[in-house]
Amino acid sequence: MAAAASKSAPLIGVAHFSSILLSPVEFATAAARAGFSRIGLRLNPAFPGAPYYELPVGGSAARELKSVLSGEGIEVFDIEFFVIDPSFDASSVEATVAAAANIGARRLSVCGDDPDQARLASNFSDLCGLADRYGLAVDVENMGWRVIKTFQDSVNLVKASGARNAGALVDGVHFFRNGGTLASLRAEIGWVKHVQLCDVAGPAPVTPEEMIAEARGGRFAPGEGELPLKELVAAVDSYAAISVEVPLAGSAPPETHLKHLYDRAEGLFGPDR
């Protein structure tokens, strides 16, 4: 069982994409032992061919995971990942939403990729309504190659939906690489519910292909690049949950990678946290 965190230890989560080849049980165990308090799990594919895991309600996999979560003293915070494109139908993902609620998740993560803004807002609102029935909230993450490209785009979608359980997800690479600033964050801080830490360095990518390559394979651990992450953490303060998302690259064991991510993220917090 993971050691109990001290009162001053920050509550930090970690996204499944950081070690996506670990099953939910393996990931929960490794994350807890690295020091994380929360995990995100990928129960829906982020893009065609992307790995994901199914945890149907009533199944043995979900029961095993809940036992491990309890034993390791760690919780599920968010579930990834839903792409709201022109063909999206909220009713088609109800089983995944139910599975998320069953394992104690609090939020779902989505991106917007429909050029019809009215339909996009309607479908997002429908998902928020479905999630609300299961006690979940929904966060929009901007991505430079999607229709919802910028942080302001994501906030605008949240506002347009009128959903009481909608929020914005700020991911370090997507936020700063697509025009986000600390000033713009502070101006809309009330809408920000989740922040994912990662780092990057060098010129910002320009083409969609370059953006995708950086987001999926060019991230660094927090503090190992050029992003003002310490200032980001300070600006967010208690408004939003904080996690880390940096995919494992190279041959390091997942446990080593996760411990490194936790240590680097913890170093961004002030001495009073």
Radius of gyration of the chain (CA): 17
Question: pLDDT tens, 14-49?
Answer: 999 999 999 999 999 999 999 999 999 999 988 888
- Grouping H, G, I as helix, E, B as strand and the rest as coil, residue 21 is coil
Percent of the chain having pLDDT more than 90? 90
Question: pLDDT tens, 208-229?
Answer: 999 999 999 999 999 999 999 9
Give the pairing type, strands 241-244 and 107-112: unpaired
Q: Does the structure show a pLDDT above 80 at 3? A: no
Indicate the helix (H) or strand (E) that contains 69.
Answer: helix 60-72
Question: pLDDT tens, 57-105?
Answer: 999 999 999 999 999 999 999 999 999 999 999 999 999 999 999 999 9
Helical pair 60-72 and 24-34, crossing angle rounded to 10 deg:
10
What pLDDT score was predicted for residue 49? 87
Per-residue pLDDT averaged across 191-215, rounded?
Answer: 97
List domains and CATH numbers for the chain: 12-266 (3.20.20.150)
Per-residue pLDDT averaged across 1-24, rounded?
Answer: 79
Cβ atoms 40, 269 nearer than 8 A: no
What pLDDT score was predicted for residue 271? 60
Q: Does the structure show a pLDDT above 90 at 173? A: yes
Cα–Cα dist 203/179, whole Å: 13
When mean pLDDT is compared across 15-19, 106-110, 185-189, 246-250, the lowest value belongs to 246-250
Closest to 40 in 3D by CA, of 53, 56, 49: 53
Q: Does the structure show a pLDDT above 60 at 129? A: yes
